[in-house]
Chains A and B, each alone.
Chain A
Amino acid sequence: MSAGIHPLANVIAALARGVSGVRIRWAGCRPDGGQRIFFANHTSHLDFVVLWSALPREVRARTRPVAAQDYWEKGVRAYLARRVFRAVLVHRGGTAHAGGKAEEFADARTVIDRLAEALGEEESLIFFPEGSRGTGETIAPFRSGLYHLARRRPDVELVPVCIENLGRVLPKGEVLPVPLICLLTFGAPMRIEETEDKRSFLERARAAVTGLRRKGQS
């Protein structure tokens, strides 16, 4: 399967890992597994690259990041996103207002359709449910995309991932990274309950990420 990885993707992943000196903890599951949606807190542009590079090679070949269309649709970024990392580009906030006005509702539906389609039979996704990058200190409330996707594909494991320190390596608006050590913690897979409503599911998912934080421990 590794033939499916763009060579540049491996180079960028190796660089990102070097700069971020990332330490990886598989706290709640094994690195190899079936179809998964990795959902993580979002603190830096490097997030998905570092998360992706932390996966075993054969998992990497069938894992696609979900990225914001408005940021990644032009020029070099578009090439990187589409060709190199095979990103699934979606409208940011397209999933945020599901249940709102009619056209937004339709928009959200298409986003979820595209993500479900991208999952297919064997692909996994990297997903940042906060929607945009935070400060790294607090985790923003999750948008509803994760809930709708989980409802659509209840067979796919949802794996919470906590990314620490990467926001300090390359904060919002900065170009040069400071090579600090980041910590990536993979938690125990979760699934959506039959009767669970949107709010409590999103709360539970966010708590799963927050609970993996190891501030102050090595």
Chain B
Amino acid sequence: MSAGWPGYRALQVAAAGWIPQIKDPQLAYLFGGVLGVLIFASVTGAILAKTAKGDAARATIDNLNARTRAWWKMCAIFALTLLIGRIGSLILFALMSLLALREYITLMPTRRADHRTLIWSFFFITPLQYYLIGIRWYGLFAIMIPVFAFLFIPTRIALTGDTEHFLERAAKIQFGIMVCLYSLSYAPALLMLKIPGFEGRDARLLFYLVLVAQMSDVLKYVWGKLIGKHKIVPQVSPNKTWEGFCGGVLTATALGAALWWITPFTPLEAAGISLVIALLGAAGGLVMSAIKRDADVKDFGAMIEGHGGILDRIDSLCFAAPIFFHVVRYCFVP
């Protein structure tokens, strides 16, 4: 097709607008690295599956391999949306919020009178929050849910006249929106930060947050399986051990520090920020485990093979994203 074709120039401009990240070669290296880790995990899993003896070991390995398969899919989706650009990331995270909120509300004993409030939460408050990020209206993005939605929800429930367990119902919906929607939306909100000298490369920050948060989960799991002995809070989660926690947090911090070159941070700053991400990830995992324990379920859902539901996968991200955002905004945005 010749360059003189009338639509060609328009197409080129459109493509450049929609796929700006392709111009960032370092992001391609990072995805290459992720690809390498995935291939390594798949090969290791295949070898372990051949050598595993005993039912318990086999079950663990099967679950491990299921998790790896799901990681392939999740990484592919994340890479694709990051390549599409801001719109892609916004849509992805908006969908994740909806799916997480659905898993959370499913477990909560809401009543029939809460129906309209839930409709508002799913179909108005969620799109509005991501729209505010889309138009870069930071001031309203930051207070829409903690102020306006916070006051709206109990009001809407009170209007129905059903007062049974009133505060409990309102609080449960508020908490769900705060975690699944507000906190998570801070991840794509990184794309609206304007860091001097870092223009046009903000997708890396989102990549960095997701990578460190998810790798700290994976590393905690791996360390816990390898040398885990002393349980942190056995009443909440029998799988969380001090060995897994310390090993995971330290290695995730090291990983985050080693990736300083894709961020606007110095190596030391990157280590500190990764430590914060890993610690908050652990906090998120713990809190969401407590909710699951209270509701008497093992997982929030069954959407992701081997992992459980969406919310089981992003609990650490939900807690890490807002703090990461505000640390970066406070320290690096003039």
Contact = CB atoms under 8 A, between A and B. Distances in A.
Given A21-B102, A168-B110, A181 B301 contact: yes
Contacts of A179: 98, 102, 122
Contact of B102 (A23, A171, A180): A180
Interface in A129-178: 135, 165, 167-168, 171-172, 174, 176, 178
A195 interface: no
Contacts of B299: 218
A217 interface: yes
A87 B320 CA distance: 51
Given A176-B119, A179-B98, A181-B106, A218 B112 contact: no
Interface string B290-333: 00000111111110000000000000000000000000000000
Contact of B295 (A171, A176, A216): A216
Nearest to A136: B112
Contacts of A172: 112
Consensus secondary structure, chain B interface: helix
Given A171-B112, A178-B118, A180-B102, 13 more contacts: A23-B302, A135-B112, A168-B112, A168-B115, A174-B115, A176-B119, A179-B98, A179-B122, A181-B102, A181-B103, A216-B296, A218-B297, A218-B298
Consensus secondary structure, chain A interface: loop
B118 A216 contact: no
B105 interface: yes
17 contacts: A21-B102, A168-B112, A171-B115, A172-B112, A174-B116, A176-B123, A178-B105, A178-B118, A178-B122, A179-B98, A180-B105, A181-B102, A181-B103, A216-B297, A217-B296, A218-B300, A218-B302
Contacts of A218: 297-302
Contacts of A23: 302
Nearest to B296: A216
The winner among B105, B115, B116, B295 for most chain A CB atoms within 10 A is B115
Contacts of A165: 106
Contacts of A181: 102-103, 106, 301
Contacts of A180: 102, 105-106
Interface residues of B, number: 21
Contacts of A174: 115-116
Interface string B238-267: 000000000000000000000000000000
Nearest to A19: B102
Interface string A172-204: 101010111100000000000000000000000
Nearest to A135: B112
Interface string A29-42: 00000000000000
A135 B118 CA distance: 18
A135 B111 CA distance: 10
A179 B123 CA distance: 10
Contacts of B118: 178
A178 B297 contact: no
Contacts of B105: 178, 180
Contacts of A217: 296-297
Nearest to B297: A218
Interface string A48-87: 0000000000000000000000000000000000000000
